[in-house]
Amino acid sequence: MRAITGGVVSSEPCSLRTAALFLIRFSKSAASHLPSSDCHTYLRTVTDATRQLGRFRKELGARQLQGDANFDAHGYEDPVDGRRRHQDQESEGGMSVAADGSHRDSAAGAELDLASGKKKAKKKKKNENPQEDRAVARADSHIPPSPEIATEKRKKKKHPNKEIIVDVKVEEELVSEKKKSKKKKEKFHVKLEEDVNAVEEKIVNGSEERVARTERERKKKKHEQEEGRTEVVKEEKTIADGDLDIEKKRKKKRDRGDIYDNGSELENQEMEKSRILIIGGTGHIGKHIVTASVRLGHPTAVLTRDSAPSDPAKAQLIKSFVDSGAAIIKGDVLDHGSLVKAVKSADIVISAVGPRQVGEQTRIIAAIKEAGNVKRFVPSEFGSDVDRLHTVDPAASLYAVKANLRRLIEAEGIPHTYISCNCFAETYLPSIGDVTAIRAGPPATKITVLGDGSAKAVFVVENDIAAYTMRAVEDPRTLNKILYMRPPANVLSHNELISMWEKKTGRTLQKEHVPEEDILKWIKEAAFPLNILLSLGLSTFVRGEQANFDIDLSVGVEATQLYPDVAYTTVDEYLNGLI
C-alpha cells in the first residue's frame, strides 16, 4: 500500500480527493493485480500524464483568452462589421490578419502598416490631386508582396467567409465541451462523495463492532472475576466457620498419606509447570521444598557446590533428588558466572540458604537482574515476619539483614513472594517448646518456659511449609506479597502446648519460668546456637510477635485460607508421633 500511495503523491503534492480518485480507479483496473513496484510505476505514470493534460488545457485556455484580447484590440467588436472591414483592408492594401487575432509575421506586419498608411493618405488627398493619387496607386502596385501575404490573399479570394464560420464552430464546440466537462465533474464529485461515504460507513461500522466486542469481553472478564471472588469468599467462610467435613477429609488424607486433593493434582498437571531452581536445597527446609517441587511436576534443579560430597548423608540426599527426577547443577553462590547460568535455566528461583549465607543473597539478586528471565524470587526467610520482629542480637542482626534484602528486592523491581512460616515444628515440638533443649527430645520431668508462657506461637510442619510455598510460587494472589502460615489448630501458647503433652503422656512437668530480664542476660552469656535460639524465643514465646497482629491484606495473605485443600499436620497429630 505504501508503494501504491507513493505512486499517487510522489511527483507533486495532491489533495485527498485526487488521491482517493486515483486509488478508486486503480482498484477497479487490471493494473491492481500487478506487483507493488509495478503498481508504483504505473500510478506515477498515470498521475504525471493526468497533470500534463491539465497543464495543456490551462495553456490552451490562456491562448484563447489572449486571442480574444488581440481581436478586441484591433477593433473587431462586431463579427459582421469586422469581416467587412477585414475584407476591405485586404482588397485595398493587401493586409492579411487571421480571424483569431494571432500575431503577424514581422515582415508582413511592416508591409501591412505601410499599405494602411498610404491608404489613409490617399483618402486625405483624394479631392486635392486625383492624378497624383493614381500615380501613387500605380507605384504601390509595383511593390512585390511577401510570400506569406500572397498565399493569404489567394486563400481569402477563394473562401472569404471561411475564417468567421470556423471561429463560430470552434466557439460552439468549446462551449459544448465545457458543458460536458462540467457535467463529468459533477458526476465525478457525486461518485467520489458516494465512495467516501461508503468508506466512512465501513470504518464507522467496524469501529462500532470493535467497541461492542471489547465491551462484551470486558463484561465477560468482570463476570469471571466476580465468580472467582465469590468462590474465594465461600472458601474463606468455610475455613472461618471450622467446617467439620473439611477437617474430616483432611484427616482421611493424612491417614492415607495424601497431602493434596485429587482434583487439585489434576489441575496442576494440566497447567504448564514453571522451571524451579532451588539454592540451598540440601539444607533443613530446602530438602522439603525440592521434594514438594518434584511432586507437583515442576522441572526442578538444585544448585550445589559439590555434586558428589564426601558426607554420606548428604551424598544419599543428592542421590534421592536424582532418583526422584530433580537435576543437580554444580555451582556456587560465590561464583557469579555459574550462578547466572543456573538462574537463566529457571523461571522461579527459591533460596533456602542457612543463616550464615543469608547476606550472600545479594549475589542471587544481582544474578537474577542480569539474567532477566525470572518470574518470581523467594528469598530465604522462613520464620517470623522480618518487619515485625523486635528482639536483641544475634537474631536482631540476622533479621535486619533479611529486612534489607526485602528493600533491595523491591528497589530492583524483582517479582517476589516472602514466606513467613513462623516456627519449624520439627525444631521446636520434639522438646515441647523448650528452646534450651533443642534436639534433646521430649522432657522427662522439667521444662524451661520463657516468660509466663501465655504468648501465642505458631508451629508448622516442614512438609506443609514446602507444600504451601510451592503452591504460592505461581499464584498471582501471592505476587509481591507475604505468605503467612497460621494453621488455626497450630496457634498455641507454650502453656497450652505443655498441657497437651501432659494429657497425652499422663505426666506432669515441672515448669521453670525465666523472666525477660534474665533472658537478656542469658543471651549475652550464651554461645551459638543457644544465643540465637534464646533471642528468637524472646520474640516468639515472651512477646508473641508471630500472632499478635492481624494480617494486612494489602501486603499479605494467609496460606490455609488460600489453599484449604492442603491437609496440614496439626500439633496434636505431630505430638502423637512422639509418644
Cell numbers given for 150 = 500572397
Q: Does 447 share its domain with 530?
A: yes
Residues 6+ apart with CB under 8 A from 352: 278, 279, 280, 281, 283, 285, 286, 289, 380, 382
Q: What is the per-residue pLDDT for 269?
A: 44
Model pTM score: 0.57
Q: What is the per-residue pLDDT for 177?
A: 73
Confidence of residue 285 (pLDDT cuts 50, 70, 90): very high
Q: Which of 76-85, 115-124, 307-316, 471-480 has the lowest mean pLDDT?
A: 76-85
Check residue 416 and report its DSSP letter. Answer: B
Number of domains comprising the chain = 3
CA–CA distance, 368 with 388 (Å, rounded to integer)? 27
What does the pLDDT look like over 136-168, one tens digit per residue? Answer: 444 444 444 555 555 555 555 555 554 555 455
Query: Whose grid coordinates read 510505476?
Result: 41
Q: Does 376 share its domain with 429?
A: no
Residue 419 backbone dihedrals phi, psi, to 5 degrees: -105, 115
For residue 140, being part of any structural domain is answered with no
CA–CA distance, 312 with 321 (Å, rounded to integer)? 14
Hey, how many other C-beta atoms are within 10 angstroms of the C-beta on 562?
20
For residue 391, being part of any structural domain is answered with no
Q: Check 180, 182, 191, 402 and give the catalytic one.
A: 402
Q: Does 323 share its domain with 460?
A: no
Residues 6+ apart with CB under 8 A from 334: 360, 363
Q: What is the per-residue pLDDT for 537?
A: 97
Mean pLDDT (the chain, rounded): 77
Name the domain boundary from 365, 380, 395: 380
385 has a pLDDT exceeding 70: yes
Looking at per-residue pLDDT, the higher value among 480 and 20 belongs to: 480
Cβ atoms of 474 and 485 within 8 Å: the answer is: no
Q: Identify the CATH number of the domain in which residue 339 sits.
A: 3.40.50.720
Q: What is the mean pLDDT of residues 481-496?
A: 98
What does the pLDDT look like over 218-241, one tens digit per residue? Answer: 777 666 766 666 665 555 555 555
Q: Does 562 share its domain with 451?
A: yes
Q: Cα–Cα distances in Å, from 12 out to 1, 4, 7, 9, 15?
A: 18, 15, 10, 6, 10
128 has a pLDDT exceeding 60: no
Q: Identify the CATH number of the domain in which residue 574 sits.
A: 3.90.25.10
CA–CA distance, 463 with 285 (Å, rounded to integer)? 9
What residue numbers bound the domain in which 513 lies? 425-578
For residue 255, being part of any structural domain is answered with no
Hey, how many other C-beta atoms are within 10 angstroms of the C-beta on 391?
23
Q: Answer yes or no: 237 catalytic.
A: no
Q: What is the per-residue pLDDT for 92?
A: 43
Q: Does 484 share its domain with 543?
A: yes
Hey, how many other C-beta atoms are within 10 angstroms of the C-beta on 45?
12
Q: What is the per-residue pLDDT for 59?
A: 79
For residue 357, being part of any structural domain is answered with yes
Q: What is the mean pLDDT of residues 40-49?
A: 68
Q: Which of 11-15, 275-279, 398-402 has the lowest mean pLDDT?
A: 11-15
Q: What is the per-residue pLDDT for 216?
A: 74
For residue 69, being part of any structural domain is answered with no
For residue 222, being part of any structural domain is answered with no
Q: What is the mean pLDDT of residues 10-34?
A: 61
Q: What is the mean pLDDT of residues 529-546?
A: 96
Confidence of residue 296 (pLDDT cuts 50, 70, 90): very high
Query: What dihedral angle (degrees, nearest 10) is formed by the CA atoms of 23, 24, 29, 33?
Result: 50
Confidence of residue 64 (pLDDT cuts 50, 70, 90): confident
Q: Which of 19-23, 69-73, 276-280, 559-563 has the lowest mean pLDDT?
A: 69-73
Q: What is the per-residue pLDDT for 245?
A: 53
Helix/strand/coil percent split, the chain, to 5:
60, 10, 30
Q: Does 373 share its domain with 439?
A: no
* Strand-pair category, 491-493 with 456-460: antiparallel
Check residue 491 and report its DSSP letter. Answer: E
Hey, how many other C-beta atoms are within 10 angstroms of the C-beta on 145?
16
Residues 6+ apart with CB under 8 A from 198: none
- First-to-final CA distance of the chain: 83
Q: What is the per-residue pLDDT for 104?
A: 43
386 has a pLDDT exceeding 90: yes
CA–CA distance, 229 with 235 (Å, rounded to integer)? 10
Q: Does 323 share its domain with 437?
A: no
For residue 184, being part of any structural domain is answered with no
Q: Which of 227-231, 317-321, 454-458, 499-503 has the lowest mean pLDDT?
A: 227-231
Q: What is the per-residue pLDDT for 295?
A: 96
Q: Which of 16-30, 207-221, 233-247, 558-572 has the lowest mean pLDDT?
A: 233-247
Q: What is the per-residue pLDDT for 230?
A: 61
466 has a pLDDT exceeding 80: yes
For residue 354, being part of any structural domain is answered with yes
**Which amino acid is present at 558?**
E
Q: Does 348 share its domain with 430?
A: no
Cβ atoms of 9 and 19 within 8 Å: the answer is: yes
CA–CA distance, 177 with 184 (Å, rounded to integer)? 10
Check residue 538 and report its DSSP letter. Answer: I
Q: What is the per-residue pLDDT for 60?
A: 77
Q: What is the per-residue pLDDT for 54?
A: 74
Q: Which of 22-31, 490-499, 535-544, 570-579 has the lowest mean pLDDT?
A: 22-31
Q: Three-state SS across 285-351?
A: CHHHHHHHHHHCCCCEEEEECCCCCCCHHHHHHHHHHHHHCCEEEECCCCCHHHHHHHHHCCCEEEE
Beta strands in 35-99 (DSSP E): none
Q: Does 287 share its domain with 373?
A: yes
What does the pLDDT look like over 163-217, one tens digit per residue? Answer: 555 455 556 666 677 677 777 666 666 666 666 566 556 554 555 566 567 667 7
Q: Does 375 share its domain with 465?
A: no
